[in-house]
Structure 1
Amino acid sequence: MNLIIDEGNSQIKVALYKGDKQYFFKSFGKDHFEGDFLEELSLKGIKKAIVSSVAKHSRERFAFLQEYTSLPVLHLRADTPVPFSNQYASPQTLGCDRIALVAGGMKRFPRRNVLVIDAGTCITFDFITKKKEYLGGAIAPGIAMRLKAMHHYTDKLPLIEEEDFDTENFVGNTTAKCMLSGVYNNVLREIEGVIAQYKKKYNSLTTVLTGGNHFYLAERIKSTIFAAPFVLLEGMNAILEYQKRI
């Protein structure tokens, strides 16, 4: 059994895989993670583990895994061997979450051009060719970040929380609704425009959508996409499995 741990900006996601099949998944808060984890899961039967983190001091935070067992833990980094050719011009700056997303997209759709869109704190676009060449992509502010930025960088615009905004009614008739339309409607059009760009340049394109806002966006994006909430975890598992073959 493989233990997969993904530490994001707000939560820590934990999964168990045997081969390609997921047997367990749960999101944990960052406070009291060690105690909550050990209460929820037994380390018996786990052969290998991989950790991906966008936060500082992750090695210290997850050191308890080796304190309780001799479990080998792979901390995913930019120089970790992966099952694709990384053509990024500055690979040392590439986030481990994006590496895992690419591996997951490729695992799901081998021999195809794949665009993975992660709609979370930031909206990231990552592209890998059918020849297993990762070329790069784009990073843009996410929905919550855009709402907060308008309030932060102006004197009068209010702070608005995320909501299930109806983009069919995109003409805002209050300041708050104008802000919501400017974020939600524009994010949708932005994503659809990026997908169209890639389709024009690369044939047989498959688009995978994941991230915290993927449920909202998947219902509204008109382009053909595959909603895949666990593609990052699947990518981490694929990277861990790849270590056995090198």
Structure 2
Amino acid sequence: MINFATTKHEHVNLIIDIGNTLAKLVAFDGDTPVEEIKTSNETLERLPEFVNKYAFKQGIVGSVFGITAEAERQLKRLDFPLLYLNAQTPVPITNDYRTPDTLGADRLAAAVGAYMQYPGHDILIVDAGTCLTYEFIDKNGHYKGGCISPGLQMRLKSLRAFTAKLPLIDSEGPLLDIGYDTETSIRSGVIQGMKFEIEGRIKYFQEKYPSLLVFLTGGDIFNFDSKIKNLIFADKYIVPRGLNRILAFNNEQS
């Protein structure tokens, strides 16, 4: 049995990143992520356990899934203030997106998280999660927007849903340049196809912005060729970092 009382950190921020598949709870001590746990995006069932472990002073909630009634009940039990990220929330970059009300919290937070680490650089963020998204922020701190395409599991499931005979396969398994049966053909087509898509997108932006920095985040990992791999900063905390920085920025403004 873990004695959470003996592991408390003082003055820690709670970052709640509610995604399409699950929710991530991250404790930040200043700008440093201390711990991350995953929980249901519908119930936030592990939130009480996590809150008992740290002396949180404040928190921020970013959600692309929405907030269910059960999740809201969990949040209302907290005894420290929460900032709910929305289109009106002040952020430390300039948002040039034409429809800010439709911009996912994760996409905006990713742009903030990357730019705050490397201000003054053109940055492309690749997030390989439920969806495969690309975010571009220029060297002047202007978030310009990005691209959205289906993620890995969505692509695999769509082949089963929209065909008569193709099976739903596991993403784990032999990955070949040319499949020798239906399973390996699907895996090659989907996974290698996503890899080529990402590499092509990076090369396209690099030609337009020669000093481009590239961040890769999300749950799906790809093996890129050496030329592309050397350009990429892998950072699984890029969205939580952005949410944490937005929280700090709002404290500074007030």
Shared fold per TM-score greater than 0.5: yes
Say yes or no: does 1:55 pair with 2:62: no
- Identity of matched residues, %: 38
Distance in 1 of aligned mates of 2:173 and 2:181: 17
Q: Secondary structure at the match of 2:56?
A: coil
Q: 1:231 aligns with which of 225, 238, 243?
A: 238
- Output aligned runs, 1:59-78, within 5 Å: 61-69=71-79, 71-78=80-87
Q: Secondary structure at the match of 1:47?
A: strand
Say yes or no: does 1:200 pair with 2:200: no
CA apart distance, 1:164? 4.9
- Output aligned runs, 1:21-170, within 5 Å: 21-30=32-41, 33-34=44-45, 36-42=46-52, 45-58=55-68, 61-69=71-79, 71-166=80-175, 169-170=176-177
Q: 1:183 aligns with which of 172, 178, 190?
A: 190
Q: Which whole-Å deviations, capped at 9, do the CAs of 1:50-89 have from their partners, x for residues lacking one? A: 01112233576234334341x1111111221111000111
Are the equivalent residues in 1 in contact too, given 2:137–2:143 (CA < 8 A)? yes
Are the equivalent residues in 2 in contact too, given 1:66–1:72 (CA < 8 A)? no
Q: Which whole-Å deviations, capped at 9, do the CAs of 1:14-45 have from their partners, x for residues lacking one? A: 111121112222112346534x3213432763
Are the equivalent residues in 2 in contact too, given 1:48–1:73 (CA < 8 A)? yes
Are the equivalent residues in 1 in contact too, given 2:112–2:245 (CA < 8 A)? yes
Are the equivalent residues in 2 in contact too, given 1:165–1:184 (CA < 8 A)? no
Q: Which runs of 5+ in 2 are unaligned?
A: 1-11
Distance 1:165 1:95, change over 3 A: farther
Distance 1:129 1:19, change over 3 A: same
TM-score of the aligned structures, taking structure 2 as reference length: 0.88
Distance 1:173 1:38, change over 3 A: same
Aligned length: 239
Distance 1:165 1:97, change over 3 A: farther
Distance in 2 of aligned mates of 1:146 and 1:189: 15
Q: Which whole-Å deviations, capped at 9, do the CAs of 1:81-127 have from their partners, x for residues lacking one? A: 11100011111111111011111111222111110000011100000
Aligned match of 1:20: 31
Aligned match of 2:21: 10
